[in-house]
Chain A
Amino acid sequence: MRPLLLTLKERPPQRLDLSGLLPELLAEKSAAEIARIGVETTRKPVTVGDVFRVRTGDARHIRIEGGCDRLDWIGHGMTSGEIVVEGDAGSQAGRLMAGGTLTITGNAGPWAGSAMRGGEIEIRGSAGERLGGPLPGETAGMRGGMLIVRGDAGGRAADRMRRGTIVVEGRAGAWAGSRMIAGTLIVGGPAGPLPGYLMRRGTIVLGASTAEMSPTFVDCGTHELTALRLLAAFLARYSARAARLLRRPLRRLAGDTAVLGKGEIFLSGRT
């Protein structure tokens, strides 16, 4: 069956809350019912029908055409099914996601995959700041699942990450993996200043050396570890680039010794 199609008519005049447009919430709903769902974030009411052309289809597969950076909370708390955004997404795409797959063919705003617990997110463009990270006041960021960014990621990617895997195929901004609790962040290209800032545990892999490493990371030598080979085998179907990186000999830096110091940054020998 063909997917449920939502085509953006024009750039919306206000930011929109698309957290109600989940496969599990739209199942059994007619096009007219879907069109009546409110998506406004200001006092001026806006419905799905006002901003999207709705074509009925299998709600387990939702396709949003004409993405835009004003479309916030896409896939918020999603547990199953699939959402594909043709174009950009706004803030907090896939936040608290627990299952299913979310694909964004363009760029995503800040907090993409924020505190997600499961499922898979693929961002074919770049992601904004605090990829997978927690909102202010939350104690942990991403807690599970798979988050892939084909382009670059903004500052503080994987902030306070607890579990799961993040792959950024391009560059990462400053403080990548800041305050990590555990989990794995792989960056294909270089990272900005101070990767792993205050990380307690967890693994960061950087494809290129970074301009400014924190002096609180200590060199533990170059190794070829079975664990990284195994991770490479798992990641091969998601990112050939990440898998290639993990199969190289990598220099292990332990830290951040300013805190617990049981985390690690692996650096590729090639610079």
Chain B
Amino acid sequence: MRELTANGVRIDNTFAEAFGMRATAVVVTADEARWARQAAITMTGFATSVIGCGCEAGIDRNFTAKETPDGRPGVRVLLFALSTGELQKQLAARVGQCVLTSPGSACYAGLDGQERLKLGSALRYFGDGWQISKRFGGKHYWRIPVLDGEFLCEATTGLSKQAVGGGNLLIMGESRRATLAAAEAAAAAIARVPDVIAPFPGGIARSGSKVGSKYKTVKASTNDAYCPTLKGAVTSALSENIASVLEIVIDGLTVEAVAAAMRAGIAAIVKLGPRRGAVRIGAGNYGGKLGPHHFHLKDLLP
């Protein structure tokens, strides 16, 4: 098999295997951009992986005051889960605990569509009977009295069943510092792609996992084939020169968005080159039997 390289970075002839997920989105606004962002950061905290957090969530993009429904700066947040029920539960809990509580916030639907999840309709009971329903312009809102005025929240938001979770890149370098530089460049590029999130801290995961474990109760465990310290001890996927591996996991509203994000990430890593960044890019899969979506790296080269 011919080895692929781009700007001196080796690209594995493999693919990322991704799964269908349920997704929703909300737009959080506040009087100032930093408070909209604070609410969004709080609501997307502890939402790195569905394995332990119930959902994967992140900030998709920032909105200027002109782009939001109420003319204040805002942030669009995407949430992904494995079932509609879990997504509904996570949405209500996170908006209720993190956005409702944030000074001056308001929350609107961030996704259109026929299928809906409850947003304000689930939170309105906080108003203890003083909540006010308003319908205009084909939309339904709830006004909930709170200590700094009112929390305004759209009644529902859209649900997508076409979302894709688990797009990924494995970034391999000859030092921790260089690998992190490449991963940061890729994460920054992916953050600019619309309709996707990279849910791990700063978009980067250092504890890439495999399915299952030697322990019966553990659902996911360390991906030993990519652990540099186990190179000699296990059937390793790493050559001798690799000293560090970081993973970027990507969830997107569509297959196209995930592909665009992976393409942007690869382009950023390749541009940085092997001297300052990564020497090799791979991707995680399960042999192609589990996930319906396969993103072949060779199709995503810059």
Q: Is A229 an interface residue (CB 8 A)?
A: yes
Q: Is A223 an interface residue (CB 8 A)?
A: yes
A234 CB to nearest B CB, Å:
4
Residues of the A chain whose Cβ atoms lie less than 8 Å from the Cβ of B150: 225-227
Residues of the B chain whose Cβ atoms lie less than 8 Å from the Cβ of A70: none
A163 CB to nearest B CB, Å:
6
Q: Is B106 an interface residue (CB 8 A)?
A: yes
Residues of the A chain whose Cβ atoms lie less than 8 Å from the Cβ of B70: 226, 229-230, 233
| Distance between Cα atoms of A143 and B130 in the complex (Å) | 22
Query: Residues 1-32 of chain B: 1 if any A CB is under 8 Å from the residue's CB, otherwise 0?
Result: 00000000000000000000000000001000
Residues of the A chain whose Cβ atoms lie less than 8 Å from the Cβ of B130: 262
Closest residue to A254 on the B side, CB-wise?
B130
Residues of the A chain whose Cβ atoms lie less than 8 Å from the Cβ of B29: 226
| Distance between Cα atoms of A111 and B24 in the complex (Å) | 43
Residues of the B chain whose Cβ atoms lie less than 8 Å from the Cβ of A163: 135
| Distance between Cα atoms of A231 and B132 in the complex (Å) | 14
| Distance between Cα atoms of A164 and B138 in the complex (Å) | 10
A163-B135, A182-B133, A184-B136 given; A230·B141 CB < 8 A: yes
Within 8 A of A (CB), among B21-47: 29
| Distance between Cα atoms of A264 and B152 in the complex (Å) | 16
Q: Is B149 an interface residue (CB 8 A)?
A: yes
- B106 to A226, Cβ gap below 8 A? yes
Residues of the B chain whose Cβ atoms lie less than 8 Å from the Cβ of A182: 133
- A227 to B152, Cβ gap below 8 A? yes
B153 CB to nearest A CB, Å:
10
| Distance between Cα atoms of A163 and B29 in the complex (Å) | 26
Closest residue to B138 on the A side, CB-wise?
A234
Q: Is A92 an interface residue (CB 8 A)?
A: no
Query: Residues 180-215 of chain A: 1 if any B CB is under 8 Å from the residue's CB, otherwise 0?
Result: 001010000000000000000101000000000000
- B136 to A223, Cβ gap below 8 A? no
- B72 to A184, Cβ gap below 8 A? no
Q: Is B134 an interface residue (CB 8 A)?
A: yes
Within 8 A of A (CB), among B119-141: 129-130, 132-137, 141
Q: Is A126 an interface residue (CB 8 A)?
A: no
A161 CB to nearest B CB, Å:
12
From B71, B104, B136, B152, A165 is in contact (CB under 8 Å) with B136
A223-B149, A225-B149 given; A230·B69 CB < 8 A: yes
- A229 to B149, Cβ gap below 8 A? no
How many of chain A's residues have a CB under 8 angstroms from any CB in B? 20
How many of chain B's residues have a CB under 8 angstroms from any CB in A? 20
| Distance between Cα atoms of A225 and B151 in the complex (Å) | 9
Residues of the B chain whose Cβ atoms lie less than 8 Å from the Cβ of A230: 69-70, 106, 141, 152
- B152 to A231, Cβ gap below 8 A? no
Residues of the B chain whose Cβ atoms lie less than 8 Å from the Cβ of A262: 129-130, 132
A223-B149, A227-B150 given; A233·B69 CB < 8 A: yes
A146 CB to nearest B CB, Å:
8
| Distance between Cα atoms of A244 and B209 in the complex (Å) | 56
B42 CB to nearest A CB, Å:
19
Q: Is B143 an interface residue (CB 8 A)?
A: yes
- B152 to A226, Cβ gap below 8 A? yes
A231 CB to nearest B CB, Å:
6
Residues of the B chain whose Cβ atoms lie less than 8 Å from the Cβ of A229: 70-72
Closest residue to B131 on the A side, CB-wise?
A262
Residues of the A chain whose Cβ atoms lie less than 8 Å from the Cβ of B104: 226
Within 8 A of A (CB), among B147-167: 149-150, 152
A233-B70, A233-B71 given; A227·B137 CB < 8 A: no
| Distance between Cα atoms of A229 and B106 in the complex (Å) | 12
| Distance between Cα atoms of A234 and B69 in the complex (Å) | 9
B144 CB to nearest A CB, Å:
10
Residues of the A chain whose Cβ atoms lie less than 8 Å from the Cβ of B149: 223-226
Closest residue to B108 on the A side, CB-wise?
A230
Q: Which of A225, A227, A231, A233 has the most CB of B within 10 A?
A: A227
- B134 to A184, Cβ gap below 8 A? yes
Residues of the A chain whose Cβ atoms lie less than 8 Å from the Cβ of B71: 229, 233
| Distance between Cα atoms of A164 and B134 in the complex (Å) | 9
B228 CB to nearest A CB, Å:
51
- A227 to B136, Cβ gap below 8 A? no
Query: Residues 51-73 of chain A: 1 if any B CB is under 8 Å from the residue's CB, otherwise 0?
Result: 00000000000000000000000
Residues of the B chain whose Cβ atoms lie less than 8 Å from the Cβ of A226: 29, 70, 72, 104, 106, 149-150, 152
| Distance between Cα atoms of A233 and B71 in the complex (Å) | 8
- A227 to B134, Cβ gap below 8 A? yes
Within 8 A of B (CB), among A253-271: 262, 264
| CB<8 Å pairs between A and B, sample of 22 | A163-B135, A165-B136, A184-B134, A184-B136, A203-B132, A225-B143, A225-B149, A226-B104, A226-B149, A226-B150, A226-B152, A227-B134, A227-B150, A229-B70, A229-B72, A230-B70, A230-B152, A231-B134, A233-B70, A234-B137, A262-B132, A264-B132
Listed in ascending order, the chain A residues whose CB lies under 8 Å from chain B are 144, 163-165, 182, 184, 201, 203, 223-227, 229-231, 233-234, 262, 264
6 closest cross-chain pairs (CB), A and B? A234-B137, A226-B152, A230-B70, A227-B152, A227-B143, A226-B106
19 further A-B pairs in the complex, CB-CB below 8 A; given A144-B135, A224-B149, A229-B72: A165-B136, A201-B132, A203-B134, A225-B149, A225-B150, A225-B152, A226-B72, A226-B106, A227-B132, A227-B134, A227-B141, A229-B71, A230-B69, A231-B136, A233-B70, A233-B71, A234-B136, A234-B137, A264-B132
